[in-house]
């Protein structure tokens, strides 16, 4: 559990391939060294939100906290750039942990195959052609919408509720709310349906209607599955990733602040 008794000294650095990020990483490695991932106490991720999500996936099985430094644009999941003269281990020692549970997706495709993936941000279905998608929504084995005609639909984690979900006019959800926003993308029928807030324990199932005429793809963070016929989504409480934020810069506070941003 974070924080450790003493400032961490064994750091493992990863970065996006941009010249500025790689030069910054090199300067940090020159100062602190670059520990082997099997010995590291903290992973230092240098990039934007997308690279932070990629790092969460790539190092999921190592169970090492990740501290991300923003070299992207939005930087919602990252910390501000640290001047090289600052003491990075001391900063890490003061950092506050946030724990994320991903969504698990099981997708069945028209060719009879089964695919699984995890998402720390969101899982969404979308139409593959010019024709609108038709999707049936089932939660906890109960049909909630027999037919949603739309461009697609999003299930978001609280951490991801400020991303694609917000762009689709879904609600921002506090990190500890135990809720999952379910948000339609350009719904046509039912015209007035704006989505739902579901308990995080909910089992969600999407069924493709007219799958040959109206093919649908499913995306879980970076994994895209085409021609899905049925998709199951559920929060995975067995998996927990730890990310670190500077005091006053915690993800939970940023999510609250985002709700008051014009």
Alpha carbon separation from 261 to 82, 160, 180, 207, 258 (Å, rounded): 25, 17, 21, 36, 5
State the binding site for NAD(+).
49-50, 121-122, 151, 159, 162-167
How far apart (Å, rounded) are the C-alpha atoms in residues 185 and 236? 24
**H or E segment at 201?**
none
Cβ atoms of 220 and 118 closer than 8 Å: yes
pLDDT tens-digit map of 104-132: 999 999 999 999 999 999 999 999 999 99
Across the beta sheet with 96-100, the strand order is 11-15, 42-47, 66-70, 241-245, 96-100
60, burial (CB in 10 Å: exposed 0-12, middle 13-18, buried 19+): middle
pLDDT tens-digit map of 163-214: 999 999 999 998 888 999 999 999 999 988 999 999 999 999 999 999 999 9
pLDDT tens-digit map of 219-247: 999 899 999 999 999 999 999 999 999 98
Cβ atoms of 42 and 92 closer than 8 Å: yes
Alpha carbon separation from 51 to 19, 34, 48, 69, 102 (Å, rounded): 15, 19, 5, 10, 16
Contacts of 122 by beta carbon, 8 Å cutoff, 6+ apart = 103, 154, 155, 156, 157, 160, 163, 164, 165, 221
State the binding site.
49-50, 121-122, 151, 159, 162-167
pLDDT recorded at residue 75: 74
Catalytic residue among 30, 49, 111, 227: 49
**H or E segment at 31?**
helix 19-32
pLDDT recorded at residue 76: 80
pLDDT tens-digit map of 48-101: 999 999 999 999 999 999 999 999 877 788 999 999 999 999 999 999 999 999
How far apart (Å, rounded) are the C-alpha atoms in residues 9 and 236? 31
Q: Which two tokens stand for residue 176?
A: 């500890």
Across the beta sheet with 133-139, the strand order is 114-119, 103-109, 228-235, 204-208, 133-139, 142-150
141 is catalytic: no
| Triad 91, 92, 94: Cα angle to 5° | 70
Across the beta sheet with 223-225, the strand order is 196-199, 179-185, 152-156, 122-127, 216-220, 223-225
């Amino acid at each position: 559990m974070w924080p450790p008794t003493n400032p961490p000294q064994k750091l493992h650095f990863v970065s996006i391939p941009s010249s500025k990020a790689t030069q910054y990483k090199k300067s940090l490695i020159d100062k602190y060294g670059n520990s082997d991932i099997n010995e590291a106490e903290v992973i230092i991720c240098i990039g934007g939100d997308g690279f932070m999500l990629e790092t969460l996936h790539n190092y999921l099985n190592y169970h090492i906290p990740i501290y991300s430094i923003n070299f992207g644009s939005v930087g919602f999941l990252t910390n501000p750039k640290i001047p090289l003269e600052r003491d990075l281990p001391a900063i890490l020692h003061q950092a506050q942990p946030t724990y994320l549970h991903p969504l698990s997706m099981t997708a069945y495709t028209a060719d009879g195959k089964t695919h699984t993936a995890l998402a720390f941000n969101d899982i969404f279905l979308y139409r593959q052609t010019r024709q609108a998608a038709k999707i049936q929504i089932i939660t906890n084995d109960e049909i909630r919408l027999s037919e949603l005609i739309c461009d697609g639909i999003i299930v978001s984690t609280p951490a991801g509720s400020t991303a694609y979900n917000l762009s689709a006019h879904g609600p921002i959800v506090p990190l500890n709310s135990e809720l999952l926003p379910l948000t339609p993308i350009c719904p046509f029928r039912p015209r007035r349906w704006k989505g739902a807030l579901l308990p995080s324990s909910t089992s969600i199932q999407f069924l493709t209607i007219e799958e040959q005429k109206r093919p649908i793809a499913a995306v879980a963070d970076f994994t895209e599955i085409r021609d899905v016929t049925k998709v199951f989504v559920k929060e995975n409480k067995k998996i927990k990733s730890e990310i670190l934020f500077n005091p006053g810069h915690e993800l939970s506070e940023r999510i609250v602040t985002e709700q008051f941003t014009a």
